[in-house]
Amino acid sequence: MNNNKSIARYAAGLVALFSLAAPASVSAQLAGHNVILVHGLIITDLLKAPTKEEVLSRRKVSDFWQSRAEGYLNWSAAERLEGGIAEIVFEQAKTLSADGVCNNGCVLVTHSTGDLVSRYFLAHQEAWMTAAGYQPLNIVATIDFAGAGGGTDIADIAVAAANSEYVPLVMKLAAGAVLGLDLDITDYDQLGVVLDLTTSGARNHANWPNSIPRLRFSVSGGGLTDPTKPLIRGADDTVVPAHSSCGASAPDAIESCSSSIAYDGKRTWQFGPRGLWHNHFPVLMAADYDHFTLVDDQHQGRTTYVLNNFAAGLNVDFGTTTRTVTRRWWEVWKETGTWQYVAGSENTSFSRLIYQTLNN
């Protein structure tokens, strides 16, 4: 089988898997700190591995965050986390250090798989940078959009199907059509970083605590007809499950980042995380944004909050409002209860709310 042609046939489905690329360099800050973007998985890397020059020159983030960034850590999805990804991220970090970009502290803004890439870098950068004679980057906090650092069921399925001789070819092709991957392969390195994105794999990479606060932003949008939603346990954003984006310490099929607040803001019991990873703080959730729209400056619906009014590298202090709905005995169609929202989210995009608030 011609793998490149086969992958190309199915690539549309997993353009999902975590795409966000790095920004152009402009002068902008967040709360007085330079912003560095870390993009997500770019599916075309698995069709044809990009050259080093192509990786370093990427500028494919939303205009909103691109215009607010001063640096970037790019990488290729064709590589493995502990190999080529670590090497090229380290190389860019040395340049940032030499240029003094983070002398006054930096904020990492990550999307999807960029969460896992960042965790691996942050866990090792002090040893790497010091040994190379560079000052480690002073990262005050990370803003993690739809973080895939806890892995995703999509990668589990892809790797399991590709790794099994007992899965019929027709099933591999069907799964590949949904996932955007050619799963009829013999060289599993063709899956690149997808091999690191399995739930167990991702959670075993650099899983020891560190002192850098990670602010988590999780959404659960996407239609029921989206082909990836049935493949993911619990709530999801069409690509990443809630246990990952919320920063949950266990890969349970949770329905919210909170045991008392739903993604749409309703105050009601939810199957939430049993615990959170050290220094991971689920801050905002939204039910109407999906894996991609949460990083754009396009309003999709109201946003709710989980943790608020605290400091963790950045001051988190969102304005809030509530709405209570009651009904008369005959208004059986009405959903009753109390909903909590971020003030202004009725007409302000998810990303803009975050930037405006954390920039104070």
Over the stretch 231-257, which tens digit does the pLDDT of each residue have? 899 999 999 999 999 999 999 999 999
pLDDT reading at 226 higher than 90:
no
Rounded to whole angstroms, how far apart are CA atoms 9 and 174?
12
Is the pLDDT assigned to residue 1 strictly greater than 50? no
What average pLDDT does this structure show over 61-75?
92
**266 token code pair:** 């309703």
Which residue is associated with the tokens 């020059």?
53
What's the length of the chain? 360
Which is higher by pLDDT, 347 or 22?
347
Q: In this predicted structure, what is the pLDDT of residue 12? A: 39
Q: Measured between alpha carbons, how far is residue 88 from residues 47, 55, 81, 102, 165 in Å? A: 20, 9, 10, 18, 34
Give the three-state DSSP class for 122: helix
User: What's the pTM?
Assistant: 0.89
Structure tokens at 107: 């904020």
Q: Which amino acid is at 258?
A: S
Given a cut of 50, is residue 11 above it in pLDDT?
A: no
Q: Are 318 and 265 in contact (CB under 8 A)?
A: no
Output the pLDDT for position 231: 86
Cα separation, 254 vs 234, whole angstroms:
5
Q: Six-digit token pair at 138?
A: 């002073």
- Quick one: how far is CA 73 from the chain centroid? 15
| Mean pLDDT, residues 77-96 taken together | 97
pLDDT in tens, 109-155: 999 999 999 999 999 999 999 999 999 999 999 999 999 999 999 88
Q: pLDDT tier at 179 (50, 70, 90 boundaries)? A: low
State which CATH number among 3.40.50, 1.10.3470, 1.10.10, 3.30.300 fits the domain covering 3-358.
3.40.50
Q: Indicate whether 26 pLDDT > 50.
A: no
Under a CB-based contact definition with an 8 Å cutoff, are residues 311 and 295 in contact? no
Alpha carbons within 13 angstroms on the beta-carbon side of residue 91 total: 12
The ranges assigned to domains in the chain are: 3-358
Residue that has been written with the tokens 């949460």 in this structure: 294
